[in-house]
Structures are given as C-alpha cells and as structure tokens.
Amino acid sequence: MYLWPSNYIMNTDFEAFKEHLSWLIHPSLIDNISEAEISLSPKFTDTFPILTDLLSQARVLNLNIDHHPHRLFSWTNKNNEVFGWLNKTEPDFTSTLPLIDEHQLLQNEIGGIRESFNQPHPSLSNNQEFMFIGSDCSLGINDWDDYYEDLCKSENIPPIDYKNFISFVIEANGNTTVYDPKTKEVFLFAHDHAFDNVDFLENQPEYTFHTFHNITYFTDYVEALAQEWKNELL
C-alpha cells in the first residue's frame, strides 16, 4: 500500500476534496493518507445492493483528520468532475442508542457521511450536516419538541410517540431525518422546506413530520441516496 507524505500529495481525488472542503477542514489536520480497497460483507451487499454497486466503482483513500479515521470515496461524474463523500469511520464506537441492525451494519462497514462535495442536485445529501454517523445521532427530533408539541396542542392533534426516534441526518437549517427503531420507517421532520419529494404526514400538523416519496424504510433511504449518486457516474 502506497503512503503519501502528508505535506506532498499529488492525487486528483484528494485535491478535489481539499478544493471543495478547505473552508471546513484545514489541510494541517490531515495526515496518514493511503490508497485503500474496501471489502464488504455478504450481509452488507444483500442489504444494500445499489450502494454496493456504487461503492464498487469508487476510488478510496483512508486518511486521518484531527487524529480521527476517515475514508474518502470518490467518483467521476458526467461532467468529468470528481465528486464524493468524506466518511467518518468509528471502529471503536458503541452507541447507547437503539440503532437498528441496518444502520449499525452501515456504520460498521463504511462509516457515516461527514461531508459530500460536487453532489448531484437534487439529492438527499444536499445541505446536510452529517448522515448516518453513529456518534452524531440522537434521540427525538433535534430539539424541535416544543415547536411540535405546541402545534399539536393548538390544532388539537395527538402527537405521535417520537421520543425514541433516531435522528440520523441533520440539515444545516435544523431539519432532521429520523427513523422509528420499532418499525424502521423513515420520516423527515422539517419546520421549513422547499422539497418536491415529501408530503405532510397524515393527521399531523403541517411543517412537522413528512413522508418521502418512494421511501418507507431506512434501507430505502440509503438505497435512494446511492441511486442518486450512481445516476451521475460517468
């Protein structure tokens, strides 16, 4: 395995990553960069076939950022530009949250998405603070409890039991994508959005819980994200 010196990296994918995310991550925090190959378990490939196909076409770098392990997945899009994901891997992390098996499988084998660059438009990955990272997940709806419960009270609508929902994606404006660990169903909680791919959840106040078009369960969400990126491959 070839290891580049941290102060002299001639790699197109890494340079594209630095160009797009230098405002977020200072190059001095990055070291131990090496080319890598990923090996996915049969359980992973059976659970996420579209994602598996996408990952099989990725160019992969392992790197440390501020002493934390990360993995850079890069592809070339139809405009002949590099686009990709920076995933944070957490090999020693054990969550106290009731993460479902599919989420834990994703976390264990490829980590969660810390940042993406040159992403498709539209995409589930746009404007997200993080996606799937176990240590960033939380219970509930990202502190929108009072907003939601006040709306339910004012409209005389019973609130749904959301306290044990897993918030696994957070948007820059505070919107969060959650799943119910009992049913594995996915919902968007959004106080404000301009999406064409969601509907208000029936029997709930508007601009609270939403359902996604063609996405019901966590695995559907992951596969839909992978398909969006796969559609952009050169």
- Among residues 126, 99, 125, which one has the least CA distance to residue 182? 99
Q: Which pLDDT score, from 0 to 100, does residue 28 have?
A: 79
Closest CA to 211 of 233, 187, 232: 187
pLDDT at 63: 95
Kindly give the parts of the chain with pLDDT less than 50: 1-10
Please answer whether residues 114 and 88 qualify as being in contact, where contact means their C-beta atoms are separated by less than 8 angstroms. Answer: yes
| Residue 5 pLDDT | 42
Contacts (Cβ under 8 Å, ≥6 apart) of 104: 95, 134
pLDDT of residue 7: 36
> According to the model, what pLDDT value does residue 79 have?
95
Residue 177: how many other CB atoms lie within 10 Å = 26
Q: What is the pTM of this model?
A: 0.93
pLDDT the model gives residue 9 = 39
Predicted confidence at residue 196, as pLDDT, reads 87
Q: Please give the structure tokens belonging to residue 160.
A: 């749904």
Q: What is the mean pLDDT of the chain?
A: 93
Cβ pair 218, 102 in contact under 8 A? yes
Model pLDDT, residue 82: 96
**Cβ burial 41-56 (10 Å sphere, 16+ → b, else e):** eeebeebbebbbebbe
* Alpha-carbon gap, residue 79 to 28, rounded angstroms: 30
